Structure 1
Amino acid sequence: MAASIRMKGARTGLQNAALGTGTVFCLAGILGFIPGITSNYDSLRLAGHASEALLLGVFQVSVLHNTVHLLFGAAGILMSRSHPQARNFLVYGGVIYLVLWLYGLLVGDPIPANFIPANHADNWLHLVLGLAMIALAIMLARGPAPAADTGSTANSSVPGTRRR
């Protein structure tokens, strides 16, 4: 029988932040495929800077971009099941978004190496997302992580005492 990584009891603030972040990314991925919410939908391309589709009329998207948002969001939802994984999602996800921000600034739109459709709005959103995710991880990870409930009665509930 495989051990579950799902923790018993209340979710931590860190887990809720990872869950919320993952949910927002899934929502962004879904909305990127809906005409009307995504303007210029008929110009949606598989990948690359040639896609002129704009989520909410602002953020340049492609099929690949939307799919990555969906997968990244699903990872956040799954990783929110445990405190350490939620922290990892927010920290490493934040680092990924900071790298994407730098990539967008350095590569630019018209270069063929730019397989990510990202306009200036996307670039600055990547900066804000990266910083916010890392800040959430730092602020909410302070203090001890909750102990996993193993179902064992070997631990005493009286502080300073142990069962032998």
Structure 2
Amino acid sequence: MARDARGGRSTGHRPRVQAAALILAGAFLLIGVLGFIPGITTDYGELRFAGHHSEARLLGLFQVSILHNAVHLLFGLVGLVLARSVGGARLFLAGGGAVYLALWLYGLGIEAIDEEAGANILPINAADNWLHLALGFGMLALGLLLSNRAGTGGRLDTPIDRP
């Protein structure tokens, strides 16, 4: 039988923070793939590599580009790798939440300044902004609140406790 980090037997179930990270990583992979499928992505002929000129929309709502889809795929792969440990899962969720909040601010800034500006390398519309806000707070909350006994929320250890 497998042993956990403290030398005890593993119960065979995955901590909730790891499960949440795996689910979200899988969702990002799925979204990245769906962004390349005509029909699911409307105006597929208008899909561009990068920039705000890409008029393709995932599910007819979220503006996407090849770069945008590739970032979703990469983010999902990173999430799968990090979800292998509790600390990595927390990092993916909390760090990813912070990244999505930064993207939300970026989207607001682009809208406020000029959508035609050279800084607008990602096609972001109002639907994307709302999604980034929800993902940011949701992932941050999951990363900080789940599995309080592991990672930074657990007991202090001594070097002898470490594997």
Q: TM-score if structure 1 supplies the norm length? A: 0.81
Q: Pick from 105, 122, 129 the counterpart of residue 123 of structure 1.
A: 129
Which residue of structure 1 lines up, in the alignment, with residue 64 of structure 2?
A: 61
Q: Pick from 83, 94, 97 the counterpart of residue 94 of structure 1.
A: 97
Mapping for residues 1-164 of structure 1, pairs under 5 Å: 9-108=12-111, 109-144=115-150
Q: CA deviation at 1:9?
A: 3.9
User: Which one-letter code corresponds to 2:134 in the other structure?
Assistant: V
* Greater C-alpha radius of gyration: 1
Q: Deviations over 1:99-139 (max 9, x none)?
A: 00000000223222100101000011000001000111122
Q: CA deviation at 1:144?
A: 3.3
Return the alpha-carbon distance in structure 1 between the equivalents of residues 95 and 63 of structure 2. Answer: 23
In percent, how many aligned pairs have the same letter? 54
More moved, 87-96 vs 105-114: 105-114
Return the alpha-carbon distance in structure 1 between the equivalents of residues 138 and 92 of structure 2. Answer: 12
Return the alpha-carbon distance in structure 2 between the equivalents of residues 34 and 112 of structure 1. Answer: 28
Return the alpha-carbon distance in structure 1 between the equivalents of residues 11 and 86 of structure 2. Answer: 11
Q: TM-score if structure 2 supplies the norm length? A: 0.82
Q: Is the 8 A contact 2:87 2:150 kept in 1?
A: no
**What's the RMSD between the two structures over aligned residues?**
1.6
User: Which one-letter code corresponds to 2:132 in the other structure?
Assistant: H
User: Which one-letter code corresponds to 2:92 in the other structure?
Assistant: F
The unaligned stretches of length 5 or more in structure 1 are 1-6, 146-154, 156-164
Structure having the larger proportion of residues in helix? 2
